[in-house]
Chain A
Amino acid sequence: MKLTLDSGLRQNDKCESMNMRQQRLKWVLPGLLIAVGTALFSVWICRYQRFEVTVRLPGADGRPAASVASVGGGPAAGSLQMFDGKPSAIANSWPCFRGADYDGISKENVPLLRQFPEGGPKKLWQIPLGEGYAGATVWKGRVYVIDYDPAKQADAIRCLSLEDGKEIWRYSYPVKIKRNHGMSRTTPAAADGFVVTMGPKCHVCCLNAETGQFIWGMDLVREYGTQEPLWYAGQCPRIENGRAIIAPGGKALMIAVECATGKVVWQTENPDGWQMTHSSILPMNFAGKRMYVYCASGGVVGVDAENGRILWKTDQWKLKTNVPTPVDCGDGKIFFSAGYNKGSMMLQLKQAGGEIVPQVLFTLKANVFGADQQTPVFYQGYIYGVRPDKRLVCMDTNGKILWNSGEANTYGLGPYMVADGKIIVLNDEGVLSFIQAKSDAFDLITQTKVLEGHESWGPMALVSGRLIVRDLTNMVCVDVAQR
């Protein structure tokens, strides 16, 4: 019995060792195959395949390490020329970019044409300009425009008569710039006897609005470390209570400068190092406070108009190449839009614990609503603007599109504003359209060509039925009033 048990145990041991051998053998073959396969693959890769990797590093374009910040003596080195133009007796004004209330709406009670006459509205005057998109400002019968004179290589602040376009005076200061999608592209601000301009190279200049006498100037690049925006500065200055309000970025996010003296009254800190964009400052009221809202490169800031203190800020909306200005939609709602596929955003300001807190209500993709270059208009509860597909659209403040102008009516990058209940739109090729400003349907009233050139993108100004428009090289004043 014992023998049988022992032999049985030996038998079992034998079986176990055989099983183990089999187990080992089961792994040997696949292992061997993997090893041979890997070896063959390595030989194939190393011998027969070549992977060329091109390293793409900064500096391959040959850009110089640093460019010269600013050339020339700036506005202080300028000179004044006088001409024989006389101001018009028309007292109404369009004192800055987007008009007196910064909303792109003319409040004048002047009925506009319902049907353009054959050949278009009466052309009152026309002047040639250097290449650009700079718009006009009108104050006390005078038209102001910042132009660039390529022959003299100078920024030229020109004062014209609203009556006939004749030049009254011109203040020029030397600046060397090259055409880069035009040259000048800002609209002056005129108020309280001063005119303040922003040049393509971030030169701020304050002149006596009547005589053209130089009062003070600033080179923001040199004085504030402003980074000159791509394609030159697009920010249009503001004047409020005798102070010029400018957003330099760099050392100061925003500054208020006394127009009469050039003294900096306050400046806003810039701890995040945000830089200047093409957007302009929106003055607005909220919770009994006057504030200046600005889209800088890294976000949006609301600044106390009294002392320059930051009331609120957010980085929910940022784009270095932002062009449109924020739109005040009332009750603390601010609407932002931009090009480069950015789309749009509605922000709500709220009060919480004595602070102002911004809250995003909604964002929209560019194909729903995204104004590339011009600032949308908020009129009677609705937002009007031109999308990247070039269609004019009407939207409510909840982001619902109510109508679009369709494929047959497109407007591109041209300016638009509202007057006499009509949306006035200029397309890229200088065709002027009047459209009923209403939310129920797109209703084209009349249209005609008023400019012969292309890229008619400069913001418009409207005073007593006189509409000032421009293309790349010409400024024209047409009479669009129903007289």
Chain B
Amino acid sequence: MDEKKNQYSRRDILRHGVWGACAAGVAGTGAILASKSRGQKYVWQIDPYKCTACGNCATFCVLQESAVKCVHAYAMCGYCDLCTGYYRPEPKELNTAAENQLCPRGAIKRTYVEDPYFEYTIDETKCNGCGKCVMGCTSFGNGSLFLQIRHDRCVGCNECAIAIACPENAIVRVPAEEPYLLKDRR
């Protein structure tokens, strides 16, 4: 009788086996998730060489003020008096009057350096990422102005709205350790 009590029936073995397998599965999944969470994180970023400055970044970002901003690769800039990223086509005069400027928000500051050079800096608090300046700079200038997702603003949506709206598939996942795709002289 005792002998029979100590013996496991096939049903017991099956029952314990199923529980064991479930536990192992849960533990394994947990371990995998834990290891993944310890691995590399990714964030969204704009590939400046694919971007066509279509303007979608300004309107499709879920934030009221887009997380996309214009940035400037100073090493590529010609510091020109007639900057096609700063001035609208055929400006009346080369001065800082609103009617001559391309940026609708006056987000680019132009500063005289020395004859014949001018420096152009972006005021990110005013920039909405419309890309008008980028278009001008890329089409006729050195291409030193370009758009980037600023990670102090980006909320890191799982499904980035501007990535969906981008006609050039220029918005890509990049390692969080290197969250910016910068331009250089190629």
Contacts and interface: CB of A to CB of B under 8 A. Distances in A.
Given A61-B95, A339-B140, A388-B139, A56 B101 contact: yes
A372 B117 CA distance: 23
A231 interface: yes
B95 A180 contact: no
Contacts of B39: none
B139 A61 contact: no
Contacts of B93: 58
Contact of A181 (B80, B97, B110): B80
Contacts of A64: 112, 115
A29 interface: no
Contacts of B96: 56-61
Nearest to B120: A61
Contacts of B98: 55-57
A181 B112 contact: no
Contacts of B117: 178, 180
Interface string B113-146: 0011110000000000000000000011000000
Interface string A87-129: 0000000000000000000000000000000000000000000
A365 to B, nearest CB: 13
Interface stretch (B17-25, B82-90, B173-181): B82-90
Nearest to B95: A58
A61 B89 CA distance: 19
Interface of A: 54-64, 67, 178, 180-181, 230-231, 319-321, 339-341, 372, 388
Contacts of B110: 60-61
A58 B97 contact: yes
A67 B115 CA distance: 8
A151 B106 CA distance: 40
Contacts of B140: 339-341, 372
A388 B140 CA distance: 9
Contacts of B106: 54, 56
B78 interface: yes
Nearest to A56: B98
Given A61-B111, A341-B89, A341-B139, A230 B82 contact: yes
Contacts of B118: 61, 63
A180 B82 CA distance: 11
Contacts of B82: 230, 321
Nearest to B79: A180
12 contacts: A56-B106, A58-B95, A58-B96, A61-B110, A63-B95, A64-B112, A64-B115, A178-B117, A230-B81, A319-B90, A340-B140, A372-B140
Contacts of A60: 96, 110
B141 to A, nearest CB: 10
Give the top 6 A-B pairs by smallest Cβ distance, nearest first: A58-B95, A56-B98, A60-B96, A62-B112, A61-B110, A58-B97
Contacts of B90: 319-320, 340
A124 to B, nearest CB: 31
A39 to B, nearest CB: 29
A178 B117 CA distance: 9
Given A56-B96, A58-B93, A340-B90, 10 more contacts: A58-B97, A61-B112, A62-B112, A180-B116, A230-B116, A320-B90, A321-B82, A339-B140, A340-B84, A341-B139
B97 A57 contact: yes
A131 to B, nearest CB: 12
A201 to B, nearest CB: 11
A63 to B, nearest CB: 5
B111 A181 contact: no
Nearest to B126: A54
A130 to B, nearest CB: 17
A56 B112 contact: no
Nearest to B140: A340
Contacts of B139: 341, 388
Contacts of A54: 106
A383 to B, nearest CB: 22
A123 to B, nearest CB: 26
A259 to B, nearest CB: 32
Contact of A340 (B78, B89, B112): B89
A247 B84 CA distance: 26
Contacts of A388: 139
Contacts of B78: 180-181
Candidate in B78, B95, B117 with the most chain A CB atoms within 10 angstroms: B95
Nearest to A228: B116
Contacts of A231: 80
Contacts of B89: 340-341
Contacts of A59: 95-96
Interface string B88-109: 0110010111100100001000
Contacts of A319: 90
A64 B113 CA distance: 10
A67 B110 CA distance: 18
A372 B141 CA distance: 12
Contacts of B95: 58-59, 61, 63
B85 to A, nearest CB: 13
Contacts of B111: 61-62
Interface string B34-57: 000000000000000000000000
A339 B89 CA distance: 11
